[in-house]
Amino acid sequence: MTALDTPTDEVTLTIDGVEVTAPKGALIIRVAEKLGIEIPRFCDHPLLAPVGACRQCLVDVEGQRKPITSCTTPIADGMVVRTHLTSEVARKAQQGIMEFLLINHPLDCPVCDKGGECPLQNQAMSTGAAESRFQDVKRTYPKPINLSTQVLLDRERCVQCARCTRFSEEIAGDPFIELMDRTSDEQVNVYREEMFGGEPGPAGSHSDLGSEPLRSYFSGNTIQICPVGALTSAQYRFRSRPFDLVSTPSVCEHCAAGCAQRTDHRRGKVMRRLAGDDPAVNEEWDCDKGRFGFRYVTAFDRITEPMVRDPQTGALRAAAWSEALAVAAEGLRRARDSSGGVGVLTGGRLTVEDAYAYSKFARIALRTNDVDFRARPLSTEEADFLAAAVAGRQGPTYAEVEQASAVVLAGLEPEEECPILFLRMRKAYRKRALAVHALAPFRTTGYEKLGATVLPCAPGSEATLLAGDASLAAALSQPGAVLVVGERLGGAPGGLSAAVALAERTGARLAWVPRRAGERGALEAGCLPHLLPGGRPVTEPRARAELAGAWGLEAGVLDSRPGRDTGAILAAATAGDLGALVVAGVDPADLSDARAAEQALDAVPFLVSLELRNSAVARRADVVLPVAPTVEKAGSFLTWEGRLRPFEAVLATGAMTDARILDALASQLGVQLNTRDVPAVRAELAALPATDSPRHPPPQVAPAPPPVPADGQAVLATWHQLVDLGTLQDGDDELAGTARPSVVRLGKELATRLGVGDGDPVTVGTGTGALTLPVEVVDMVDAVVWLPTNSPGATVRRSLGAAAGALVSVSVSVSVPVSASVFVSVSPGGSR
Amino acid sequence: MTPSEGALARLTPVLTKRWLSPDAWRREVYEQLDGYTALRKALAAHPDDLIALVKDSGLRGRGGAGFPTGLKWGFIPQADGKPHYLVVNADEGEPGTCKDLPLMMVDPHSLIEGAIITSYAIRANLAFIYVRGEAVHAARRLQHAVAEARAAGYLGTDILGSGFELEVVIHCGAGAYICGEETALLDSLEGFRGQPRLRPPFPATHGLYACPTVVNNVETIATVPYIVLGGAQWFRGMGTEKSPGPKIYSVSGRVNDPGQYECGLGVTLRELIELAGGMQDGHELSFWTPGGSSTPMLTAEHLDVPLDFEAMAAAGTMLGTTAVQVFSDQDCPVYAAYRWIEFYHHESCGKCTPCREGNFWMKQVLRRILSGEGTHADLDTLLDSCENLLGRSFCAFGDGAASPVQSSIKYFRQTYLDYVEGRRPPLFGSPPPRPAWAATELAGAAR
Ligand SMILES: Cc1cc2nc3c(=O)[nH]c(=O)nc-3n(C[C@H](O)[C@H](O)[C@H](O)COP(=O)(O)O)c2cc1C
Ligand code: SF4
Ligand code: SF4
Ligand code: SF4
Ligand code: FES
């Protein structure tokens, strides 16, 4: 090949005698991989910056007087590389390093969690000598130590590759874990007073915890990328051996990020979950909630058999499926044919297939449009926005956000609410200085790690800023800019209307990021009162006709009148205007007024609950039908991008999907739903034609004047922390221990007016109740208080019955706040 | 013993010329002895001409590696719009090396003057002197000198009316040998843990705070004013063709008058010992280091090899920091190697495997040999470990650690064998005991 044929950005070199052309700047180790030559390595990781610390990847390069590290050296034109396969120098160098690495390694493979999947073990076999010449005393450490409640470190196993520390600093931006000390005593650790001449922590249960434990939502990834068994999780440690596990590719059911995962089980029990490798979505990472939060499935209150309410005793009792289905069908039929009708609340955690079944069940078995997936604060404006701007549209992707010229965030704190989107944005910020703008009441650590410019914004004022702020418009006018709105923006009157208008005006792409894994899927499946599957407006004759055709219905079966939304359905129940309710995975504690929702559930004459666990809904139901959790069924989620994430069942149990149960219920009502099995639903979904019907018009709600707090009042700002009291995190105490402490945040002015400083107890109240937490004074818009929505000591919706933007009272508390940690083990009353 | 005329003629007091004058560290005294005249001359010249002058002089770095100083300055990109920095390496941690500290104590203004001229040449407006943490006395002296220089208008804005601006910051290191390695030094200076950085990029383009930076040794910088005053030809009049100029040799060990002897490069050990008053009574030269522990040791057969960069390389060692440590027949080369490896083990930064683990291992093997429990295989293991360490480590520290072991086995294999085969009494009882808790655990396990 002559130089002329080679594009300037490619170079040609030889590795082990094979000529190869690769992009300039590529590292030798990567190019060798492409040729199938695997150079042993420890510190190298394709997603981390090279360090060249372990020296395991030494290769021989012609013209160099000593072997060089292939993980740090970019290729050059004409380079002649010899790896261990063809060079004695390289082979000997690698073997020498391996011998060094093993002298201080305990070689306790038989009891090590990593044994069987350990890069050190594997590479010691491939690269090391059969026997070590080391016969002296190894460096040892007394015991494993906690880096956090979840992550444990056995220091003697560590090979000081700095993958974990680089991950924390580069990828997650949580640098509380570092390499410390020097020479053979160099060790990974968190800040400990005693290492810097101070007193060791108090003896007791947590004495092993550093003074500044690793607090990161992504800490589990360090365990996965550790090339030895030095890092283990409290959850999996000593539980199993890799070769006893059955691995299944899976998709995380927690948030709308849609991470690819791998679920490992042994004899019908899930032992652990790992991040899957999906360059388009989560790259090789996941968050701790997705990794560790799976024990809710095996919680003590899992419902395993159907139940009906006994007319005599008034209590729920176990029943056969046939009885339960018959009772449910009879109750629903009566309600359907009465004036009140039936409402359907599906929640945001269903698979696409199950959501579709609910949507179809409501429309043709219950003949109602009273269906809504939103189990959270919501508005009509939001429903209109979703129908007009999200449903059926291909939104920007992770890659497009990464490549964006600018990203504006409104109503979204990505680290808390969509962690993998956060990581992707952080990558873009670090690699190409992505400009991030955020509308928020204060600069969170998450925004800090994104280098975001924060536009101070009290809850409720988003619309005004989106409509009028010149800097936002300028940023979004650049080609490739993306406006990302979270589900919370729906709580700010006019916010979503302003967002649509702004995107239109600037040409920016618009993305909607809900918090839960099933929301986007439910939207596409038509679980909204005015929207049929495929983004078809209920009111459009053509939309109804298309669907009637696909479903084989007579004309006129599909109701043309929009139904009631979650709020209206519950209000109707309370007012006695609803005949029955079918509720899937909904926790009343998630609704903007939890107590009002429970009153509605109490009031409705007939309640059918399709549930996993004995929840607040199940306890009130007339019929309870147990459904399969994600791990026991096949299905799909849609990421916030609208990307389909299909998965198969990990565990084969008898548990039934919601769709299958609805199919059976429908046939009791004389309707054929055809949602018995997942392949059938998938086939039906795939066969749905693209719609020709006009779209729903976008909302045009004017910004409302922001609430004006009186003396002693403030505007409530609140969102969920990633690790909190959500019921899908039940049973994972080690994970709960890594949660951010609950605090009430307020600005300096308000703090001065109240006369409080960091740590002082402050009470936030409404007519419903009050919460008292230690205060953290931050740079906050004045007269705003922030609370975590559903954290220990801060169950905002249940205790305050208020959502973001509400006026709350703020006062200095006379009583000492209950330490947040007391609440960690309290799990009931949580939400999804 | 009085040195001969011939040996005395080798002395070239240039950097040390004020060392015997009382109070030479004070500005007035320094000024009376030519101080700050080079600065006036330099400020009148174009910076590029100064770089060319230092290139012409052939000055090579005095910090150990002997890199041509003018060339290093020339790597600094000009008109790049970024701030430039000069960092003076005053960490002096190499065992045996003790030239920079006395220079800073006795003649601190020569370093300040050199730093100003260098900064002017490389267009730096901020210079740092990174002083070894333990050397508080030197840091104080430098601080005083900086204050004096500022008061006299040699530092600050518009120095001597030239429009050139410079501040000098004295920074005390946190006490680690590795912080003398220039990139570890920069990390340390920036407030991070002192560990060497991955290169490229090199300090010349991405040094302190990722800006173009020159790192030079104290002696290198202190030499600059003399070159400015005397010119390149004068400078080349001393030393050898490829290693020109005067050099401070730090002679220590079994000589009568240990100390600093400034000679033209290329002086021999025989001459240095003579200058240092000869070997102590009853001691006969056995082995010696030409430039600190990181330079492979030599023996009496090298008494007449010129101590310059080329001749030392030809003899299989390095000139290093010209820390000439003289050991006699009453010193044990195996014990010396052991103590040095103890040092390297203690000071290894821990970043890379071969140095972190290799020193840990070699230290134990050497101790075992000295305890009379070594084997013949241990000698091969030591040599092979050195082979796996030398040129495999992340930074030159690892290479330095291999030097004492390799060279002592090369020249004193018989002494090693004497320990192994029981002809020499053990120096230690047995290998160090296991940590107390491990002993209990083992006992527990046995029970
Ligand atoms: C382990 C190690 C320690 C070093 N310690 C010092 C030191 O204490 N002082 C010094 O000037 N150079 C030291 N060096 C050399 C520096 O890295 C650097 O080469 C030198 O400061 C450059 O200055 P020069 O060109 O003037 O010699 C050390 C190098 C290594 C590898
Ligand atoms: S704990 Fe694991 S990942 Fe971290 S430095 Fe040690 S070996 Fe590497
Ligand atoms: S980011 Fe979301 S999808 Fe990914 S692991 Fe975490 S909770 Fe699951
Ligand atoms: S050789 Fe490696 S461990 Fe030793 S000092 Fe250099 S970087 Fe640190
Ligand atoms: S993999 Fe290349 S140095 Fe560690």
Q: Convert the pLDDT of each residue in B5-32 to its tens digit.
A: 888 999 999 999 999 999 999 999 999 9
The model's confidence at residue B438, banded by pLDDT at 50, 70 and 90, is very low
Nearest atom of ligand 5 to the alpha carbon of A69: 2
Cα of A218 to nearest chain B Cα, Å: 24
Position A413, amino acid: E
* Token pair 């509400």 in the structure block, residue: A806
Which chain A residue's Cα is nearest to B398?
A: A183
Ligand 1 pocket test target in B54, B217, B221, B223 with most atoms within 8 Å of CB: B217
Indicate yes or no: CB of A53 within 8 angstroms of CB of B351.
Answer: yes
Interface-testing mutation among A103, A183, A185, with chain B (most B C-beta atoms within 10 A): A183
Q: Is A104's Cβ below 8 Å from some Cβ in B?
A: yes
Cα of A97 to nearest chain B Cα, Å: 6
A/B interface, count of CB pairs below 8 Å: 110
A750-772 b/e (C-beta count within 10 Å ≥ 16 → b): bbeebebeeebbbbbbbeeeebb
Which of A96, A101, A136 lies closest to B392 in CB terms?
A96
Position A51, amino acid: V
Q: Round to whole Å and give the CA distance between A422 and A257.
A: 10
Indicate yes or no: CB of B353 within 8 angstroms of CB of A181.
Answer: no
Q: What is the mean pLDDT of residues B168-178?
A: 94
- Does residue B170 line the site of ligand 1, with CB under 6 A? no
Position B194, amino acid: G
Residues in Cβ contact with A215 at an 8 Å cutoff, skipping those fewer than 6 apart: A148, A174, A176, A738, A740
Which chain B residue's Cα is nearest to A101?
A: B353
- Quote the pLDDT of residue A200: 63
Number of alpha helices (DSSP H) and beta strands (DSSP E) in chain B: 18, 9
Residue nearest to atom 1 of ligand 4 (CA): B398
Which of A55, A136, A178 lies closest to B353 in CB terms?
A55
Number of alpha helices (DSSP H) and beta strands (DSSP E) in chain A: 26, 37
Percent of chain B clearing pLDDT 90 (strictly above): 94
- Does residue A419 line the site of ligand 3, with CB under 6 A? yes
Q: Phi/psi of residue B377, each to 5°?
A: -65, -30
Interface-testing mutation among B179, B379, B388, with chain A (most A C-beta atoms within 10 A): B388
| Element holding B200 (H helix, E strand) | none
Q: Which ligand is in closest contact with the Cα of A276?
A: 3
Q: Is A73's Cβ below 8 Å from some Cβ in B?
A: no
Q: Is A54's Cβ below 8 Å from some Cβ in B?
A: yes
Which chain A residue's Cα is nearest to B344?
A: A183
Ligand 5-lining residues (CB < 6 angstroms): A 41-44, 52-57, 69, 71
pLDDT reading at B179 higher than 50: yes
- Quote the pLDDT of residue A94: 98
Query: A57: CA distance to ligand 5 center in Å?
Result: 5
With contacts defined as CB-CB under 8 Å, which chain A residues touch B432? Answer: 137
- Quote the pLDDT of residue A65: 95
The residue ranking higher by pLDDT, A421 or B446, is A421
- Quote the pLDDT of residue A176: 80
Indicate yes or no: CB of B360 within 8 angstroms of CB of A104.
Answer: yes
CB B218 within 8 A of CB B92: yes
- Quote the pLDDT of residue B446: 35
Cα of A137 to nearest chain B Cα, Å: 7
Instruction: Report CA-CA distances (Å) from A740 to A201, A218, A306, A341.
Output: 20, 13, 38, 44
Residues in Cβ contact with A711 at an 8 Å cutoff, skipping those fewer than 6 apart: none
Interface-testing mutation among B187, B192, B356, with chain A (most A C-beta atoms within 10 A): B356
- Quote the pLDDT of residue A520: 98
Task: List residues bridging with B261 in a β-sheet.
Answer: B249
Which chain B residue's Cα is nearest to A58?
A: B392
Which chain B residue's Cα is nearest to A160?
A: B351
Alpha carbon A292 to chain centroid, angstroms:
12
Query: A123: CA distance to ligand 4 center in Å?
Result: 23
Closest CA to A527 of A672, A689, A362: A362
Position A572, amino acid: A
pLDDT reading at B441 higher than 50: no
Which of the 8 DSSP states describes residue A488? G
Indicate yes or no: CB of A53 within 8 angstroms of CB of B394.
Answer: yes
pLDDT reading at B394 higher than 90: yes
Ligand 4 pocket test target in B346, B392, B395, B399 with most atoms within 8 Å of CB: B395
Query: A74: CA distance to ligand 2 center in Å?
Result: 25
Reported as a single tens digit per residue, the pLDDT across A774-832 is 999 999 999 999 999 999 999 999 999 999 999 999 999 875 544 443 333 333 333 44
pLDDT reading at B395 higher than 50: yes
Q: Round to whole Å and give the CA distance between A666 and A658.
A: 12
Reported as a single tens digit per residue, the pLDDT across B327-337 is 999 999 999 99
Q: Which ligand is in closest contact with the Cα of A42?
A: 5
Indicate yes or no: CB of A183 within 8 angstroms of CB of B364.
Answer: no
Ligand 4 pocket test target in B94, B397, B399, B403 with most atoms within 8 Å of CB: B397
Cα of A63 to nearest chain B Cα, Å: 14
Pairing, β B167-172 against β B126-131 = parallel
Indicate yes or no: CB of B345 within 8 angstroms of CB of A185.
Answer: no
Low-confidence ranges of chain A (pLDDT < 50): 1-4, 6, 203-207, 817-832
**Mean model confidence pLDDT for chain B:** 95
Q: Is the peptide bond before B200 cis (omega within 30 degrees of 0)?
A: yes
The overall longest dimension of chain A from CA atoms, in Å, is 92
Ligand 5 pocket test target in A27, A30, A38, A43 with most atoms within 8 Å of CB: A43
Q: Is A2's Cβ below 8 Å from some Cβ in B?
A: no
- Quote the pLDDT of residue A202: 53
Query: A216: CA distance to ligand 3 center in Å?
Result: 14
CB A75 within 8 A of CB A116: no
Which chain B residue's Cα is nearest to A56?
A: B353
- Quote the pLDDT of residue A193: 76
Which of A65, A67, A181 lies closest to B392 in CB terms?
A67
pLDDT reading at B429 higher than 90: no
Which of A92, A101, A178 lies closest to B353 in CB terms?
A101
Indicate yes or no: CB of B377 within 8 angstroms of CB of A137.
Answer: no
Indicate yes or no: CB of B347 within 8 angstroms of CB of A140.
Answer: no
Q: Round to whole Å and give the CA distance between B44 and B49.
A: 10
Indicate yes or no: CB of A183 within 8 angstroms of CB of B347.
Answer: yes
CB A661 within 8 A of CB A627: yes
Alpha carbon A446 to chain centroid, angstroms:
15
Give burial (CB, 10 Å; 0-12/13-18/19+) of B126. middle
Q: Round to whole Å and give the CA distance between A208 and A222.
A: 19
